[in-house]
Structures are given as C-alpha cells and as structure tokens.
Amino acid sequence: MKKLLTFTCMGILLGGCGGGDEEAEETTGKTVAEESPKAPTKEPVHEELANAINFQSLTESNGIFYTSGSKEAYTGWAKQMHVKEKGKVEWVGQFKDGKPDGAYTSWYENGEKSSEGHFKGGEREGDWVFYEEDGSVEERRSY
C-alpha cells in the first residue's frame, strides 16, 4: 500500500506541475533523451524496457527506493505497468542512488506517449514534453 501511495504521489508530481506557456512544436519522432544534450543515454525505449525492473519490486524508505531486501539505494531502470491495461507500460525511467535520475517516458493506456523528460536527484530537469492522448504535443516546459 505504501508503494502504491508513493507511486500515486510521484504520478501527481509528474503530471500536475505548472510550467511555462511555450508554443508547441512539431515532434521529430525522437525521444527527449535523443534530443537533449544532457541525456544520459540514447537507448531506444524498447531496450530501456528490457533492462527495467518492475517498480512494484522496489521498496521506499524516506523518499529513497531500494530493491527488496537490499540496503543499497537502487540504481538502474524501472518501469510501472498500467493497472487497467494489463501488459501495457505506464512509464519507464532511470533511478540513481534511489531517486529518479535520468531519462523518463510515460504512456497513456491507449499506448500514446504521455510525457518525456529527465530527472536529476528526484526533480524534473531540463526540457520536458507533455502530449495529448491523440499523440499531439500539449506543452513543452523547461525546469
């Protein structure tokens, strides 16, 4: 239950933060990780997913995520699956020292991309893109 509450808070944080009124631009088809000079990796999303552990297997203590049974903060890829749409990925992201740190991408239940950007020490950093459920760009924000 604690993991679900933590994930819900993380989702609210990711989806609900205010930002600038920057004009939407045509997407290039590349992920923010491919477009951003601060990107830690340029792996295609399918490789990120293959390397990601299930977020539900992490435990949280004082805002730091650990692999179950470990005393070391988790570093690596994690993913969360949609609850209603079994088998569909809700988000995939990098963690470093137990906090979101690196590339992050999320998807709607219909499979369209919801958002993409980067974290640094658990906080959004740099350019983020937020999408409508039809795949069009809703907003671009810089953090």
- The per-type count for the chain, helices as H runs and strands as E runs, is 3, 9
> Quick check: 130 and 16 in contact, CB under 8 A?
no
| CATH code that applies to domain 2-15+45-62+73-142 | 2.20.110
* pLDDT tens-digit readout, 51-72: 799 999 999 999 999 998 888 9
Other C-beta atoms lying within 10 Å of the C-beta of residue 73: 16
First to last CA, the chain: 31
* pLDDT tens-digit readout, 14-58: 444 434 433 333 444 444 444 433 333 344 467 777 779 999 999
91: its two tokens: 């988000």
> Quick check: 76 and 94 in contact, CB under 8 A?
yes
pTM here is 0.67
* pLDDT tens-digit readout, 109-121: 999 999 999 999 9
Which of these, 50, 57, 49, lies nearest to 74 by C-alpha position? 57
Q: What is the DSSP string of 106-138?
A: EE-TTS-EEEEEEEETTEEEEEEEEE-TTS-EE
